[in-house]
Amino acid sequence: MRTRHALRRCSGQGFTLVELPAVSKRKRFAFTLVELLVVITIIGILIAMLLPAVQSARESARNTQCGNNLKQIGLAILSYEAQHGNFPPGAIQTKNASTGENNWPCFDCRTNWAICILPFLEASNLYDQYDNNVSNCDPVNIPVLQTFLPVMICPSDVNTDQLADASHYTPDYEAAPGSYKGVAGGDHALHDHRWWWPNRCGKPTDPWTRGPLHVVCDPTASPTDSFSTVITSQITDGLTNTLLVGEYHTISGRYNTVGPFWASSVSVHNSSSTWRASYARGLPDYDACVATPGGHWVYCASAFASLHSGNMMNFVTCGGNVIRISPNMADDLYEAAGTIAGGAYEPILFLE
């Protein structure tokens, strides 16, 4: 402590030194260790409470962007239909003239619905690079297959910023991934036990199993057993009741087996079906789907699924409206929703 002094002048006398009371320094306040730990704990609790809300808001934004992508895709397909008088082919494949069997590798494939609508997605330059007269995976077309197209990617999906092996048998090649597949049809196994694969040209044979973007045969390679692309008048279920393009994603990483690759015309790479099997609906994991009791790789490879909350799947209909479908949707309604003439099983309610 310091001692303070002051001068005092007495009457008639000189100055005298007077000692004043001592004054202590002001005490400084600080957090104790316990108090600091309490503050840190409170901040941690607040962050833990806010983080789910932030993540939910981000996923909601991603889901909205995903729906906007499908809206653009749907409008592009409708613009194509308005100009050409028919919906684009799901894909064009050739057939083996000697055996009549469908060929699977990419060099027996031509264009697909996603490539056809590029001019209506402000990507005419990319469309002009694609050669419709050669194989889908011909070296001439590989630059198109390896182009990342933002409108074809759902922001909720993972590993969509890198090329992946898309080779189906031979030759080996990589392609840019996508998030959406065209609706090829319903559960064809109920009607045609020999050809229940929906992504092969010439199948399915019936309108109540055929989807708006089914695969067609190259007419020059297979003049018979082929169906032309769909026209609006054939969609007797109603445009807004018929699914056109929907989401598919898998976290298993098996892109070379199940896609999707937006520009690839190989079977399941950009088309799927509305299977009645509930395990092949909404599950974004191909390996887990196949491991399900009774799971079949055909159903799992050509399914629809998403990483959105509750595995809700975004679709755009033939009427251009974007809807959400729950994986718990009734089997009959789900199958009928993917066909142009669903018969007695008309979709009644979608989740807007």
Domains in the chain: boundaries: 54-337
> Of 221, 280, 69, 126, which Cα lies nearest the Cα of 268?
280
- Weakest-pLDDT range from 13-22, 34-43, 73-82: 13-22
Three-point CA angle 77, 82, 83, nearest 5°: 100
Tell me the residue ranges of DSSP E strands in the chain.
2-9, 15-23, 91-93, 109-112, 164-165, 174-175, 180-185, 215-217, 243-247, 271-273, 313-317, 322-325
> Of 157, 67, 162, 151, which Cα lies nearest the Cα of 114?
151
Separation in Å, CA 277 to CA 63, 193, 302: 25, 16, 12
Q: Which helix (H) or strand (E) holds 289?
A: helix 286-291
pLDDT > 70 in the chain, percent: 71
Q: What are phi and psi of 114, to 5 degrees?
A: -70, -40
User: Which residues on adjacent β-strands are paired with residue 181?
Assistant: 246
Between CA 172 and CA 165 the distance in angstroms is 7
- DSSP annotation of 3 reads E
> Of 190, 167, 191, 162, which Cα lies nearest the Cα of 177?
162
Phi-psi region of 310 (alpha: psi -120 to 50; beta: other; left: phi over 0): left
Tens of pLDDT, residue by residue over 137-156, are 889 999 999 999 999 999 99
pLDDT value at residue 97: 43
In the predicted model, is pLDDT for residue 170 greater than 60?
A: no
CB-side exposure of 178: number of CA atoms within 13 Å? 33
pLDDT value at residue 189: 42
pLDDT value at residue 180: 96
pLDDT value at residue 99: 46
- DSSP annotation of 93 reads E
Three-point CA angle 30, 35, 40, nearest 5°: 115
More confident residue, 194 or 82: 82
Token pair, residue 284, equals 């974004």
Place of tokens 């759902």: 154
Strands 174-175 and 313-317: unpaired
pLDDT value at residue 203: 58
Q: How confident is the model at residue 134 (pLDDT cuts 50, 70, 90)?
A: confident
More confident residue, 102 or 281: 281
Q: What is the mean pLDDT of the chain?
A: 79
Tens of pLDDT, residue by residue over 1-38, are 555 555 455 555 555 555 555 555 555 566 677 777 77
Residue type, 334: Y
Residue 63 contacts residue 308 (beta carbons within 8 Å): yes
Residues found in the chain: 352
pLDDT value at residue 205: 58
Between CA 134 and CA 184 the distance in angstroms is 23
- DSSP annotation of 241 reads G
In the predicted model, is pLDDT for residue 207 greater than 80?
A: no
User: Which residues on adjacent β-strands are paired with residue 92?
Assistant: 216
More confident residue, 239 or 171: 239
> Of 126, 175, 180, which Cα lies nearest the Cα of 155?
180
Tens of pLDDT, residue by residue over 278-327, are 888 899 999 899 899 888 888 888 899 999 888 899 999 999 999 999 99
User: Which residues on adjacent β-strands are paired with residue 93?
Assistant: 109, 217
> Of 261, 250, 349, 265, which Cα lies nearest the Cα of 305?
250
pLDDT value at residue 196: 44
Average pLDDT over residues 238-266: 86
Tell me the residue ranges of DSSP E strands in 202-284.
215-217, 243-247, 271-273
Sheet hosting strand 313-317, strand order edge to edge: 271-273, 180-185, 243-247, 313-317, 322-325
Q: How confident is the model at residue 193 (pLDDT cuts 50, 70, 90)?
A: very low
pLDDT value at residue 128: 96
Average pLDDT over residues 115-123: 96
